[in-house]
Structure 1
Amino acid sequence: MKRIFGFGRKRKGQPPLGSASTPHPAGAYDLRQKDLGKLHRAAACGDLAQVRQGLKKHGVDERDKAERTPLHLACANGHADVVTYLVENKCKLNLFDNDNKSPLMKAVQCQQEKCVAILLEHGADPNLADADGNTALHLAVVSPNTSVAELLLEHNANIDAQNKEGCTPLLLAVSEHQEEIVEFFLKKGADVHARDQCGRTPLMTAASGGVLNLIKVLLHYGADVSHKDTNGWTAEDYAVIHGYSSLSKQLSEYTDWKNMGEASASDAHSTQHQAGACDFTLGAPATDRGGRILNHGVTLEENQHVISLGGL
């Protein structure tokens, strides 16, 4: 799944700009001095004085060989003062580099929260898509960074935007096993029944990985176990296909429990049945085909080793 973000691209030749020992954030540009003019080099290094000098001779939106503007480079490297200066000098906020990424996308991808805030406050578009259809909100998932995601949503990012594979940020977060951001998206109103191009829902994706804690969160927010993909497969089927037969059985039992609860709710004398239904648990951790325990003891309640689905 991470291939869609273009991480880890390296080129042979001249060493990267700056010290070899300097750590670079995930998704940062692999910079070569020979590819950069003085203005772009100054923006990448955060040299505000040189950026000021450079703007006397060069346009604020001048491109390098990779179609990057000074704003792209300043954002990717977290130089908020340079970003502010460029924005105040009326640079264009939504230009794409040769990977179809805007400065905002690079700031999100490189976890530069201050730069993200500056860009959004000045009107950067959070719903632009890169070459793979990913928006800034998709890119926030891999971090994962709920505070950046919150900023994006506050500035009208589409929480259910789909990339070229049909994945919404929620679907991507489930596939990445990012529990915190999954629950964050659901609290913000993300579609728990969103489907990718194959008709797979977040619950099917969680079931295919045997991720019990995510399954509980999704069920709590109303995920429907009975939904089918384009092949007619349900979450139970995905659990079986990927070797989690015990999980499939428990999902089936959950469906029966839920149906019993719904039927009982219409009966004014169903108190005893409802009390029994509330004791339903998704018991042991899922195991793979070799019997290895997965997600041992992972629950939403600290120090518990059983995921209770009662009261959903």
Structure 2
Amino acid sequence: MEFPRAQQLVNKNDVKSLKALPNPLSLLHLRHKKSGDTLLHICCRCGSQSVLSYIIDELGANVEVSNNDGKRPLHDAAQYSEEGCLSILLYHGAETNVLKRSDWTPLMLACTKQSLNVIDLLLGAGADPCLKNKDGWNSFHLASREGNTAILSRLVEANCTVWDTRSNNLRTPLHTAALHGRSAAVNWLLSECGIHPDCTDSCGVTPFMDALRGGHLDIGKILFHTGKVIVGRIDKAGRQAVHHVAQAGQKSALLYLVQDLGVAVNATSSRDQETPLHAAAKDGQKEMMLLLLDLGANMAALDRRGRTALDVARACRQDACVTALLEISAKGKG
């Protein structure tokens, strides 16, 4: 039997047809030509528990078989939140802390979803939430990106130090939750963990900067009201939050910084002497440029290389920005 036909039967959980094959043991040797998936992998993606039990119990399939990406069936059961298949594999001794090629454990994959039951099964079987993938992320870091506080809490219950982690570029779970707009997770992290609200990653970026450039003004305000955020903190490139929001085109965040927190609209970066207007022009943020000019941005301000925002827009081939600045200049504004 060819793999596609066998896959169809697995998707239907059709044990009867599989058992009726002249040589059922041949099923153990079937693999997808490109991915290297076995029928066990397919079972765990579509939740075919009866077929999975048959292939393991009666045909003697190896529960630790890997596909071309190094994924084992347990990885797929965890990733697709197939609780029944996961239980079958764990009953047969599947290794919980196995790494696929990019160093993701089944628990890490489960933490990108929302099934607390799957998390509990893996933790109960000895899954280590502190293991890291090749980018330095552990399961708690990944759960922070998804923002499920029940899962975050369960991971801390399993290991009370799991929250105290940084990725290879020194980003904390608070950075991740802030950037992805997970307000509930941000509140939980601030109240339950010891992550400093104004911590910096390897680029000097703070969760406050991340929240605002991601357009999550509510989270920016949560962080600011901790009383521990330095609004004018600079990153390794010498830029403040106001430069980040200008480059990202986040107008509400800009208004918050300038009108509510008193940040200077012409603040210059310490390294390149760029203003927010330069930053907006560089990335083609025309509407942001117009807002900055309305708020009093100086169109004649020069960066370290002696360039105006118009010069930067031209150099970066941001034609819409060039046209807008030329029109404003012709009217004698800016």
- Structure 1-normalised TM-score? 0.64
2:49 equivalent in structure 1 = 48
2:125 equivalent in structure 1 = 122
**CA separation of 1:236/1:110 partners in 2, compared to 1, >3 Å: closer, same or farther?**
closer
Matched, 1:163 2:164: no
How far does residue 119 in structure 1 lie from its aligned partner after superposition?
0.5
Alignment of 1:289-308 (within 5 A): 289-291=289-291
2:103 equivalent in structure 1 = 100
**CA separation of 1:208/1:82 partners in 2, compared to 1, >3 Å: closer, same or farther?**
closer
Structure 1 residues 137-161: Cα deviation after superposition (integer angstroms, max 9, x where no partner): 2322343322222222222262242
Matched, 1:178 2:145: no
Paired residue type of 1:135: N
Whether the aligned pair in 1 keeps the contact of 2:130 and 2:139 (CA below 8 Å) is yes
In structure 1, the residue corresponding to 2:152 is in which secondary structure? helix
Q: 1:216 aligns with which of 214, 221, 236?
A: 221
Paired residue type of 2:123: L
Cα distance in 2 for residues equivalent to 1:92 and 1:291: 56
Structure 1 residues 27-63: Cα deviation after superposition (integer angstroms, max 9, x where no partner): xxxxx85533233333333233332333342333222
Q: Which has the higher mean CA deviation after the structures are superposed, 184-193 or 116-125?
A: 184-193
Matched, 1:195 2:200: yes
Q: 1:247 aligns with which of 239, 246, 256?
A: 256
Report the RMSD for the aligned CA atoms in angstroms: 3.5
Q: Percent identity?
A: 26
Cα distance in 2 for residues equivalent to 1:253 and 1:117: 47
**CA separation of 1:289/1:209 partners in 2, compared to 1, >3 Å: closer, same or farther?**
farther
How far does residue 217 in structure 1 lie from its aligned partner after superposition?
0.4
Higher relative contact order structure (alpha carbons within 8 Å, sequence separation ≥ 6): 1
1:10 equivalent in structure 2 = none
Structure 1 residues 47-89: Cα deviation after superposition (integer angstroms, max 9, x where no partner): 3333233334233322222212121121122221221222232
Paired residue type of 1:77: Y
**CA separation of 1:200/1:61 partners in 2, compared to 1, >3 Å: closer, same or farther?**
same
Whether the aligned pair in 1 keeps the contact of 2:78 and 2:86 (CA below 8 Å) is yes
Whether the aligned pair in 2 keeps the contact of 1:236 and 1:251 (CA below 8 Å) is no
Cα distance in 2 for residues equivalent to 1:241 and 1:78: 38
1:307 equivalent in structure 2 = none
1:269 equivalent in structure 2 = none
Paired residue type of 2:116: E
Cα distance in 2 for residues equivalent to 1:54 and 1:240: 57
2:302 equivalent in structure 1 = none
Structure 1 residues 101-132: Cα deviation after superposition (integer angstroms, max 9, x where no partner): 11111112233332111101222111222232
Paired residue type of 2:187: E
Cα distance in 2 for residues equivalent to 1:102 and 1:40: 15
Paired residue type of 2:128: D
**CA separation of 1:18/1:130 partners in 2, compared to 1, >3 Å: closer, same or farther?**
farther
In structure 1, the residue corresponding to 2:111 is in which secondary structure? helix
Whether the aligned pair in 2 keeps the contact of 1:33 and 1:41 (CA below 8 Å) is no
In structure 1, the residue corresponding to 2:170 is in which secondary structure? coil
Structure with a larger share of its residues in helix: 2
Q: 1:139 aligns with which of 113, 136, 142?
A: 142
How far does residue 218 in structure 1 lie from its aligned partner after superposition?
0.3
2:38 equivalent in structure 1 = 37
Alignment of 1:82-101 (within 5 A): 82-101=85-104
Paired residue type of 1:82: C
Q: Which has the higher mean CA deviation after the structures are superposed, 219-228 or 97-106?
A: 219-228
Paired residue type of 1:187: S
**CA separation of 1:39/1:187 partners in 2, compared to 1, >3 Å: closer, same or farther?**
same
How far does residue 253 in structure 1 lie from its aligned partner after superposition?
4.0
Whether the aligned pair in 2 keeps the contact of 1:239 and 1:248 (CA below 8 Å) is no
Larger radius of gyration: 2
Cα distance in 1 for residues equivalent to 2:79 and 2:237: 41
Q: Which has the higher mean CA deviation after the structures are superposed, 80-89 or 203-212?
A: 203-212
Whether the aligned pair in 2 keeps the contact of 1:75 and 1:112 (CA below 8 Å) is no
In structure 2, the residue corresponding to 1:44 is in which secondary structure? helix
**CA separation of 1:291/1:123 partners in 2, compared to 1, >3 Å: closer, same or farther?**
same
Cα distance in 2 for residues equivalent to 1:136 and 1:101: 9
Q: Which has the higher mean CA deviation after the structures are superposed, 122-131 or 149-158?
A: 149-158
Q: Which has the higher mean CA deviation after the structures are superposed, 183-192 or 117-126?
A: 183-192
Cα distance in 2 for residues equivalent to 1:172 and 1:291: 28
Structure 1 residues 265-303: Cα deviation after superposition (integer angstroms, max 9, x where no partner): xxxxxxxxxxxxxxxxxxxxxx943449xxxxxxxxxxx
**CA separation of 1:134/1:251 partners in 2, compared to 1, >3 Å: closer, same or farther?**
farther
How far does residue 210 in structure 1 lie from its aligned partner after superposition?
5.7
